Structure 1
């Protein structure tokens, strides 16, 4: 549910994960509990489902729709449901967008197709987003990808064109580099001041929050929702000592999850943390190659133990 507020999208969102049963199908009961766990902390205003951490690119169309449906049924009455849209084919992307809204999503976040990493085509990118905006009557969020993701990281001219599209309400800013983040924040303030710029680089939250942000959509909040809500609140209150204390507790874990190669195993590591917390029985993903070595498991476990100090029972 989008609240009646001058700044309805402001705040922290947990980018959810997807649990699978032994046969590879969606574990609906565990996913429902995961939704409650992610949003239990005061300050978590909603979720991003069907994002990268939610294995969007590995789910079927029906599975993506069901994920949204479960989220809307479980927490939709008092939390904002944002669904990611990721498809190489534009017609398919529009179908997924319509599915998500019909299933109960409040807003959509359009991810750049992975093929865009090879080259950047201004007209194709604008056409892709325009078609999705026209396919649904819903707020749309942009995704600014990391500086290391090639053409998926929009140039300033492309981002400016996207910001001017009708229906755009926010950017999930994942540049993973603070100077780039600040450039994009300043651009949005100049050409589209109504658009929220949400600092969403899980390894760079404190510095980007300090520069200025209107929220965050991060998978770290799927395992540490209380800590992320407290970090947001501390920066909102200009309490830098408290924010630094939280940062010191969670940063080593963030670095192990997102900073270690191969970075594509971040979802696996996040799921492993849920296993360590006793919430999930396995960290199964849709990638057959996803394996955590015993040494890495021990490092993750130690870092998670330290980070959990702020989470409470």
Structure 2
């Protein structure tokens, strides 16, 4: 199957990973979850095999299963972006080839965890070049917060864009409004898009000019993200502010400390909404205490989602 073309813009929710009590993948619930997202009017793609779907605990075969299932279930309706999460370039290349064969339309390339010790620009460039040589699919850079070693310098991002033509976008998680605006003003073009994932200041980042949203929160509030994106694009500030006020409460529900629990909280929200039967997560992640689940429920009610 030839994957649908995708320009790497728009609202792109990232899928969660439904699990049974024994930590095996609940494929039936996963298919329903994919349908729930694909049914949201206005989304442009769905991301699988990312942080939101607990990719760090998934084997190569499980990642292939999740991608193939997504392509089978909703791939005829929306493009599928597959995460490339690997600690070595060789494994990243292997995943990229698998993803293209399975029907992905684009690849979201995570930095190898070894870069947490620091990296040189030539390492980053070589990593992306090797992936690009292995696949014809468009690539999306995953930019981490600038205070973390896994992030790329502003000049490094420029070198990547200039050197690897199939890099078409960046998921901007820089957590720095100045750097985010620099990326939009200096690098965004007809062939390269900045996609915000800054739920804490989603409205502001869209007003600056980001061409889309790529976020795990889209698993649960993609409709609100679409409303906000369209309101900003339509220059309707009043509507944008009203939607942003609702999103603010969901941000408080999902993105408080510790950050490692953000997608656990989204799973709990899915259970509260009746969309998933279970909020089981794979260790070392642990399910949330009852008091936090109740806090999530209250904030979802404030957001008029629950």
2:96 is the alignment partner of 1:100: no
Distance 1:70 1:204 in 2: 33
Unaligned runs of 5+ in 1: none
Contact 1:111 1:142 in 2 (8 A): yes
Alignment root-mean-square deviation, CA: 1.6
Q: CA deviation at 1:117?
A: 2.0
Question: What CA distance in whole angstroms lies between the structure 2 residues aligned with 1:290 and 1:202?
Answer: 23
Map 1:33-72 onto structure 2 (within 5 A).
33-72=32-71
Structure 1 Cα separation of the partners of residues 285 and 23 of structure 2: 15
Q: Tell me if structure 2 keeps the 8 A contact 1:66–1:103.
A: no
* Aligned equivalent of 2:243: 246
1:263 to 256, 259, 262: 259
Moved beyond 2 Å, runs of 4+ = 7-10, 306-309
Q: Structure 1 residue 285 and structure 2 residue 286: aligned?
A: no
Question: Any gaps of 5 or more consecutive residues in structure 2?
Answer: none
| C-alpha displacement of 1:91 | 0.8
Q: Displacement of 1:289 after TM fit?
A: 4.3
**Secondary structure in structure 2 of the residue aligned to 1:204:** helix
8 Å CA contact 1:84, 1:109 repeated in 2: yes
- Secondary structure of 2:195's counterpart equals strand
The CA deviation string for residues 265-296 of structure 1, in whole angstroms up to 9 with x for no partner, is 11111111101111112211112442322222
| Alpha-carbon distance between aligned partners in 1 of 2:278 and 2:52, rounded to the nearest angstrom | 16
How far does residue 10 in structure 1 lie from its aligned partner after superposition?
2.3
* Residues 281 and 287 in structure 2, CA contact (< 8 A), matched pair in contact too: no
Distance 1:163 1:266, change over 3 A: same
Within 5 Å, give how 1:129-140 maps onto structure 2: 129-140=128-139
Paired with 1:155 and 1:288, the residues of 2 have a C-alpha distance of 31
Task: Check conservation: 2:279, 2:287, Cα contact below 8 A.
Answer: no
Q: For residues 68-109 of structure 1, what are the alpha-carbon distances to aligned partners after superposition, in whole Å with 9 as ceiling and x for unaligned?
A: 101111111120110010111111111111111111111111
**Residues 1-313 of structure 1: pairs in structure 2 closer than 5 A:** 1-3=3-5, 8-148=7-147, 150-164=148-162, 165-189=164-188, 193-258=190-255, 260-309=256-305
Is residue 235–residue 243 contact of structure 1 (8 Å, CA) maintained in 2? yes
SS at 1:292's partner residue?
coil
> Are the counterparts in 2 of residues 202 and 219 from structure 1 also a CA contact under 8 Å?
no
What is the CA-CA distance between 1:193 and the residue it aligns to? 4.8
Structure 1 residues 289, 85: closer, same or farther in 2, change over 3 A? closer
| Deviation, structure 1 residue 307 | 2.2
Q: Distance in 1 between matches of 2:289 and 2:146?
A: 28
TM-score (norm 2): 0.94
Distance 1:21 1:85 in 2: 25
- Contact kept? 2:108, 2:139, Cα under 8 Å: yes
* SS of equivalent residue, structure 1 residue 271: helix
Q: How many angstroms does 1:306 deviate by?
A: 2.5
- 1:173-232 Cα shifts (integer Å, max 9, x gaps): 11122222111212313xx65201111222221110111111111111110121111111
| Counterpart Cα distance in 1 of 2:300 and 2:111 | 31
- Shift in Å, 1:162: 1.1
